[in-house]
Amino acid sequence: MAKNPMQRKAQNSFLLGMLITLLITGLIIAFLILQLTKITKDQKKAEAVMKTVYVVSQDIESGEPITSDKLITKVVDGTTVPSNAMTTTQLDEKTNLLDEEGNLIKKVEVISKIKLMQGTILTDEMLAEAGELAADLRKQEYNMFVIPSQLTTGQYVDVRLRLPNGKDYIVVSHKRITIPDYEGTQSINTVAINLNEVEILTLSCAIVESYKISGSLLYVNQYIEPGLQTAASTTYIPDDDTLNLINKDPNCVAEAKQALFQRNNDASNKTAVRNPINNGLSENSEDATENAVNALKEELKRAQEERQKYLESLGGTY
């Protein structure tokens, strides 16, 4: 039966509507697919630049060792952090020295060049190698230095000898100090310093000479930013007896000897350093031995008192 014009028109309108609907739906689907594809690509791109970096979990002083307990890892957008931010892999490479087969040769200690605040993202420029631990390095305790009122463990200092005529010499330089702590109470007069054999003998000579010269002073002064400030050049030269001892001591490494003897072999420099010291020793010759003995007795007394405090802090009775 033939369709009348109204029915044909209605059918054509329906078909046109379906076609338009399908076209719109197709466009919407195509748009959604494109958007989903773009989102997926952006997500993959973002994931590709994500970095796992180290963030400082507590304040770290300048010159203080960087250890795992002071750091946390955080996954961040690599485009929003410095390009030299330390990743876990990079820090492992810096702190672990491996051979060609990937075996660990030694651990390398790294220190902070500057003071780092909690929340700081660690970067390569903030770190420096502390250097290889020398075979003749020893931890020495001293209780005869004049100590700054606000000196704390972890700070770096020079040990200096000042004579009554105003001459002032650096005996050892850029040393990280530790202050003994007994149940939360820090020692008021004792510091511990890591020194090599040459430094131990040189400082021992300076200590005895400070005892013999009335009005002389052994004191420490601290660095402001030890990670950025290089070690000061030592200027003190010990007496000939100590130099001869150092020269014959098999425990003194060649590099340390060379640095000391280089200063000693400069005749004008040696004269400028030793003459004021020798003059001071001559002026105090009558009382020098007695002064040294009395000072050593006081040193021994303080050392025994510190030892007693330490043993008591362990909870025992001695």
Structural tokens at position 109: 């200690």
Of residues 247 and 296, which shows the higher confidence score? 247
Structural tokens at position 76: 């961040």
pLDDT average, residue stretch 245-262: 82
Cβ atoms of 167 and 240 closer than 8 Å: no
Digit-coded pLDDT (tens) for 48-100: 577 788 899 999 888 788 888 898 988 888 777 787 888 777 888 777 765 55
97 backbone dihedrals φ, ψ, rounded to 5°: -90, 120
pLDDT at position 104 = 63
Closest CA to 197 of 252, 149, 269, 248: 252
Sign (positive or negative) of CA dihedral 172, 176, 181, 186: positive
pLDDT average, residue stretch 125-143: 78
pLDDT at position 66 = 85
Whether 40 has a pLDDT exceeding 70, the answer reads yes
Of residues 271 and 78, which shows the higher confidence score? 271
pLDDT at position 157 = 93
Chain-wide mean pLDDT for the chain? 83
pLDDT at position 131 = 57
pLDDT average, residue stretch 298-316: 80
Element (H, E) at 249: none
pLDDT average, residue stretch 144-154: 89
pLDDT at position 47 = 57
pLDDT average, residue stretch 225-239: 87
Whether 250 has a pLDDT exceeding 60, the answer reads yes
pLDDT at position 237 = 93
45 backbone dihedrals φ, ψ, rounded to 5°: -65, -40
Digit-coded pLDDT (tens) for 208-220: 999 999 889 999 9
Length of the chain: 318
pLDDT average, residue stretch 261-272: 84
Whether 2 has a pLDDT exceeding 60, the answer reads no
**Cα atoms in the 13 Å half-sphere on the side-chain side of 44:** 5
pLDDT at position 83 = 77
